[in-house]
């Protein structure tokens, strides 16, 4: 598609082009005056758009990739491997929320779009389609393009868009980075009504991007671990590998590093979980009190630590615990801490997806019971207070909340009056009350 500034037949002189640029500038200023307190980041983006001679009155996205090119390009793009993560955390919820989820490349070309079907058909009117170029250099201020231009997440609401045809829409976007090089490889965007720029939307996409980058890192490490060892005698370059301890919803935690996994005994899982939860270390008496149900087990703990060191040293030597105090050799990423980190960011849907159940549910160690209670109660409290109703309903259907009448009653209160889901929720509340009545009768 040719630049409309140069394609118009009556633009035949520099002076005429200057007049049109001045007219475009006046249009943008007029739009700006209609928006109270225009943010500086938006103003600067508008000014960049004007310097690029973009017309705010003309939709100008370019269909940069035809069907065949798009199909081949998507197959080789690194974000294709992370689409299941995006679907699980964002896309499958977009259908009920009336939103569109778009994934683009580092140049702003939209590669995958999914979500509310009616909204997607409307978006086609402004060429917000797969294969279209929505970079800031092509369409001016928009969430996907401006997020890439600034290399950080941004929300653009209605008239903040440079182009008038996009003014009915709002959007939030966050760039995705290559976990090894740190370079930008794409962008994830949510587009729709004002719900697309709700306060929780930006942290939700940021958390999704973090999950996508983690998935890419794991896949990269897994690929490296499967490659045959080089025959060269030179010493291979060591890569910093993430160490992860998965303790949620399982009695025998697994330690994972570089595509390898080690299932731990229950006692070793308890000790590593406690040390990961207390990264500054624990004295021998403190750790013994947290591991064992009664006093006087310090010597037993010492013998257990000897066995644990041998196991860890064989699998991940850099993690081997030290003593005085007992402390891990390097940070260990505990899956329970990830859940709490997502909650702190307001990414309730992502936190719930990461919560696979209570911490080491079969453990009776006092310290594990404390961690289990804290993670579970903080998740429940955050979801009850702040989560969207669909997220809260997903939580209500877990084993942990199946008989939590407060959770179900909160879902009922949050559901719209005509929601077809209300009947099922009412039925569940009646069942819970009947069961509790039988128990108390």
CB 130 within 8 A of CB 112: yes
Tally of helices (H runs) and strands (E runs) in the chain: 19, 11
Separation between Cα atoms, residue 153 and residue 374, nearest integer Å: 31
Q: Which pLDDT score is estimated for 181?
A: 85
Q: Which pLDDT score is estimated for 347?
A: 79
Q: Which pLDDT score is estimated for 239?
A: 37
Q: Kindly state the tokens that stand for 411.
A: 């879902």
Separation between Cα atoms, residue 261 and residue 246, nearest integer Å: 10
Q: Which pLDDT score is estimated for 36?
A: 54
Residue 330: CB atoms within 10 A of its CB come to 13
Closest CA to 22 of 43, 50, 62: 50
Residue 223: CB atoms within 10 A of its CB come to 10
Q: List average pLDDT for each run of 10 residues in the chain, which is 441 residues long.
A: 34 42 51 64 93 82 84 91 92 86 95 93 91 93 96 96 94 94 94 93 94 88 56 40 85 84 94 95 94 82 93 92 92 91 83 91 96 96 90 92 95 92 94 77 52
Partners of residue 156 on adjacent β-strands: 171
pTM of the model: 0.56
Residue 249 DSSP code:
T
What DSSP element (H or E) covers 149?
Answer: helix 143-150
Q: Which pLDDT score is estimated for 177?
A: 95
Separation between Cα atoms, residue 222 and residue 414, nearest integer Å: 43
Separation between Cα atoms, residue 333 and residue 66, nearest integer Å: 43
Residue environment code for 179-194, b if the CB has 16+ CB neighbours within 10 A, otherwise e: beeeebbbbbbbbbbe
Separation between Cα atoms, residue 217 and residue 211, nearest integer Å: 10
- In a 13 Å sphere around the CA of 178, the CA atoms on its Cβ side amount to 11
Q: Which pLDDT score is estimated for 362?
A: 93
Q: Which pLDDT score is estimated for 236?
A: 38
What DSSP element (H or E) covers 246?
Answer: strand 243-246
Strands 132-133 and 110-115, bridge-based pairing: unpaired
CB 260 within 8 A of CB 312: no
Residue 327: CB atoms within 10 A of its CB come to 15
Closest CA to 404 of 389, 415, 393, 414: 393
Helix, strand or coil for residue 189? strand
Separation between Cα atoms, residue 112 and residue 319, nearest integer Å: 40
CB 127 within 8 A of CB 139: no
Q: Can the peptide bond before residue 39 be classed as cis, meaning omega within 30 degrees of 0?
A: no
């Amino acid at each position: 598609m040719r630049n409309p500034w140069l394609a118009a037949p009556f633009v035949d002189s520099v002076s005429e082009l200057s007049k049109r640029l001045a007219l475009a500038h006046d249009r943008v200023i007029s739009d700006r005056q209609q928006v109270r307190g225009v943010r500086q980041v938006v103003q600067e983006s508008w000014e960049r758009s004007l310097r690029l001679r973009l017309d705010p009155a003309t939709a100008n996205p370019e269909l940069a990739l035809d069907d065949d090119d798009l199909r081949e390009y998507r197959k080789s793009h690194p974000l294709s491997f992370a689409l299941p993560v995006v679907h699980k955390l964002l896309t499958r919820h977009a259908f009920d929320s009336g939103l569109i989820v778009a994934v683009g490349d580092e140049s702003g070309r939209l590669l995958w779009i999914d979500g509310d079907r009616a909204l997607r058909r409307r978006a086609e009117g402004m060429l917000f389609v797969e294969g279209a170029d929505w970079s800031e250099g092509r369409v001016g201020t928009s969430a996907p393009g401006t997020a890439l231009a600034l290399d950080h997440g941004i929300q653009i609401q209605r008239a903040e868009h440079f182009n008038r045809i996009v003014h009915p829409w709002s959007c939030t976007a966050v760039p995705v980075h290559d976990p090894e090089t740190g370079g930008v490889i794409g962008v994830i965007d949510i587009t729709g009504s004002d719900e697309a720029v709700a306060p929780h939307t930006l942290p939700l996409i940021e958390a999704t991007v973090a999950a996508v980058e983690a998935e890419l890192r794991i896949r990269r490490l897994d690929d490296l671990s499967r490659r045959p060892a080089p025959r060269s005698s030179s010493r291979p370059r060591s890569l910093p590998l993430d160490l992860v301890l998965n303790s949620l919803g399982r009695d025998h935690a697994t330690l994972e590093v570089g595509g390898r996994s080690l299932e731990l005994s229950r006692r070793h899982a308890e000790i590593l979980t406690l040390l990961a939860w207390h990264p500054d270390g624990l004295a021998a008496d403190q750790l013994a009190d947290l591991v064992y149900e009664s006093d006087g087990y310090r010597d037993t703990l010492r013998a257990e630590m000897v066995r644990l060191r041998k196991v860890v040293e064989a699998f991940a030597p850099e993690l081997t615990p030290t003593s005085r105090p007992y402390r891990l050799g390097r940070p260990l990423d505990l899956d329970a801490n990830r859940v709490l980190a997502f909650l702190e960011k307001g990414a309730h849907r992502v936190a719930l997806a990461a919560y696979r159940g209570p911490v080491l549910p079969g453990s009776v160690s006092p310290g594990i019971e404390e961690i289990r209670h804290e993670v579970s109660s903080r998740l429940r409290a955050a979801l009850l207070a702040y989560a969207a109703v669909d997220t809260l309903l997903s939580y209500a259907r877990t084993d942990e909340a199946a008989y939590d009448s407060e959770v179900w009653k909160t879902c009922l209160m949050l559901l719209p009056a005509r929601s077809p889901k209300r009947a099922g929720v009412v039925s569940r509340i009646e069942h819970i009350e009947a069961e509790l009545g039988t128990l108390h009768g």
